[in-house]
Amino acid sequence: MRKFEVIIILIVVFGSLIILGIKDADKKSLPELKSSNGLEMQMDDYTTAQERLAVNDQLSDSRHNAITSAIQIVSPAVVSVNVIKTQIVNRHLSPFDNPFFGFFKNVPYKREIKGIGSGVIINDEGYIITNAHVVEGATQIKVILSDNRQFESELIGVDSVHDIAIVKLKDGEDLPVAKLGTSNGLIMGEWAIAVGNPYGFLLKDSKPSVSVGVISALNRDFAPNEDGKIYKKMIQTDAAINPGNSGGPLVNVMGEVIGINSFIFSESGGSIGIGFAIPIDSVKKIADELIQYGKIREIWYGFKVQEITPVIASYLGLSSSDGVLVAQLDNNGPAQKAGLKKGDIITKINKYQIKTTDDAEIAVTDVAVGDKMNLEIVRDSKPMSIVIDAIEYK
């Protein structure tokens, strides 16, 4: 009986050792697991605080990418633009609908309206690009930086047609400056980052807000709106451009400004992924003009055009009503000196195909004093080219 008990005990002991050996072998043979971010994780528990800190550092580093780097580069130069505008309105003072009180009706009075927008610092002298609609009519402009510094600012110049304005900080020092890139060569589908700082005056944290998307489309042209603004070659993005972000930069993954956020398509007023930015190449040209002259110098073209209606096309024997008809020439004007004649049909201006007078108006909006306008025309059924010097109207 004792021998039997000894045998049973030996079996239990050896069986336990075998089981422990199998578990240890399985544990050693388990493959290393990889997290979704590529960091290797062991099944063993981290035995020391130092190991846990090292893994936390690796996890933290893995969260940084091109987008977060771009935001770090540009965000210090993105500012909150806070304005006060004076608006004249009419109010009805009389509580009675009586002719005797008619002289009380429509009494004008002034009221102050506060507005907010965004902007971006473009040089160490404190010049800021923003939208014209943000600052037009402002009697007071205060700019708040991302480090919570506040500056009284002055309006240097406005280009209402292109919706661009230049504001300058008063007594600004040690200013962050954004790098202006180029809108030439943008690719549909590449990353785009919309940055704005609309609430720097309202929130204790004056850091800008960001939204990320892609370049949805390029070279979007719009007919002049009721305010007379013309948006041409616009960059379309699905990065959310929320209220108050107007005037802020649209940035690429290198942290370079490629556009100035301007407006969205929306019925509700909130972003639905259809936003538009003014290309930075156009903005730089406008900004230089505003900083140097305080305005956009008016150009003397020296000619006027009209639509080619079906009646006019039939009278002239034209097969199409595309193009615009030169209806008037200024005597000794730039167009006349270049050889343009009344009755010529303009079909192209600076590579822009012209079908209507709206097309012609949009085509010349980028022309500045000193530029040359390349026109393709038809005269007596023969195509011709004419170059007109853009000179300042005085």
**Other C-beta atoms lying within 10 Å of the C-beta of residue 350:** 14
Q: Cβ-count burial of 200 within 10 angstroms (0-12 exposed, 13-18 middle, 19+ buried)? A: buried
Catalytic residue among 75, 80, 118, 133: 133
Contact 390, 371 (CB under 8 A): yes
Catalytic residue among 146, 216, 246, 271: 246
CA Rg, the chain, in Å?
33
Catalytic residue among 118, 146, 159, 163: 163
Q: Cβ-count burial of 364 within 10 angstroms (0-12 exposed, 13-18 middle, 19+ buried)? A: middle
**CA 338 – CA 386 distance, rounded (Å):** 7
Question: Is the Cα torsion angle 96, 102, 106, 110 positive or negative in sign?
Answer: negative
DSSP one-letter code for 283: H
162 is catalytic: no
Contact 276, 234 (CB under 8 A): yes
Alpha carbon 130 to its chain centroid, in Å, reads: 10
DSSP one-letter code for 286: H
**CA 301 – CA 304 distance, rounded (Å):** 8
92 is catalytic: no
Which residues, including other chains, have CB under 8 Å from residue 223's CB and lie 6 or more apart? Answer: 230, 358, 362
**CA 267 – CA 272 distance, rounded (Å):** 9
Greatest alpha-carbon span in the chain: 134
Q: Residue 126 has which token pair? A: 């404190």
Nearest by Cα to 133 from 229, 275, 237: 229
Helices (H), the chain: 2-29, 49-62, 66-74, 132-135, 280-293, 310-316, 334-338, 357-363
Strand ranges for 37-105 from DSSP E = 40-41, 78-91
Catalytic residue numbers?
A: 133, 163, 246
